[in-house]
Amino acid sequence: MFIDINEIEREGISFDHRLDLSSMTSSGADALRVIQAKMSGHAEREDVGVILTARLRARLELACSRCTEPFEIDLDLPFRLTLAPEEVAREAGREEAEDDDASLFYAAEGKADLVQIATEQIYLNLPLKPVCKGNCKGLCPRCGANRNVTECGCSGESIDPRLAPLLQFKKRR
C-alpha cells in the first residue's frame, strides 16, 4: 500500500488499511511474528511536504527473553511524520536523515510505502527485553527447565569454583 504524495491536495486524504507484515522478521535470535497490523490516519499537504498523522495497531508474537516461550503483545502506536520526496534529500545534499530529522521520511519517486513506515514504527517501539509476564521466573541456569512450568530441584546456590577456597573462612565462624 502506497500513498502518492504528489497527488495529495491541501485538504488531504484519510485512510484505514490492514497491512501484510508477515515478511517482517527480527534480527538476531529474537523471534518476531506480526499476526495482524492496521494503520489509519490522515495525510495533508503542508509547505515542507505531506504531514502524515497516523495510528498503527498491531498484534505481535515475541519470544520471552527469560523463559523463551512465545507470547503475544498488542501495540498501539500514534505517530506523526513528514513525508518528503527523495529529491528534497538530494537538494539538501544528504542521503541519510540526520538526528534532528527523525520525523522526516523520504519517499522514493514520491510514493510513501505504508508497509515500510509500519515496519519502522514497530522496530522503534519493540521492547528491548520482551517478557511474557512481569513475574516470569525464566529458565534454570543449571538444567534449563522452565521455572514457570515446573520446579527443577536444582539447588539455588551456585558457587563459583574460583571462590570455593574462601568458603573455608565462612565455615570457621
Does residue 73 register a pLDDT over 70? yes
Share above pLDDT 90 across residues of the chain, in percent, rounded to a whole number: 47
Do residue 104 and residue 143 come from a single domain?
no
- The verdict on residue 132 lying in a domain is no
Do residue 160 and residue 114 come from a single domain?
no
pTM of the full structure: 0.77
- Of 1-10, 119-128, 150-159, the one with minimum mean pLDDT is 150-159
- Of 19-23, 27-31, 79-83, 130-134, the one with minimum mean pLDDT is 27-31
Q: What is the pLDDT of residue 156?
A: 63
Does residue 77 register a pLDDT over 90? yes
Residue with cell 523463551: 68
Do residue 146 and residue 99 come from a single domain?
no
**Residue 116 · residue 3 · CB < 8 Å:** no
Range of the domain at 148: 137-173
CA 146 to CA 136: how far, in whole Å? Answer: 10
- The verdict on residue 156 lying in a domain is yes
pLDDT in tens, 108-140: 888 899 999 999 999 999 999 999 999 999 998
Do residue 111 and residue 162 come from a single domain?
no
- The verdict on residue 82 lying in a domain is yes
Does residue 97 register a pLDDT over 50? no
Q: What is the pLDDT of residue 99?
A: 44
CA 71 to CA 25: how far, in whole Å? Answer: 15
The last residue of a domain, from among 105, 125, 145: 125
Q: What is the pLDDT of residue 49?
A: 83
Which one of 35-49, 79-93, 152-166 scores highest in mean pLDDT?
Answer: 35-49
Which string of b and e fits 70-95 if b means at least 16 CB within 10 Å?
eeeeebeeebebbbbbeebbeeeeee
Do residue 94 and residue 169 come from a single domain?
no
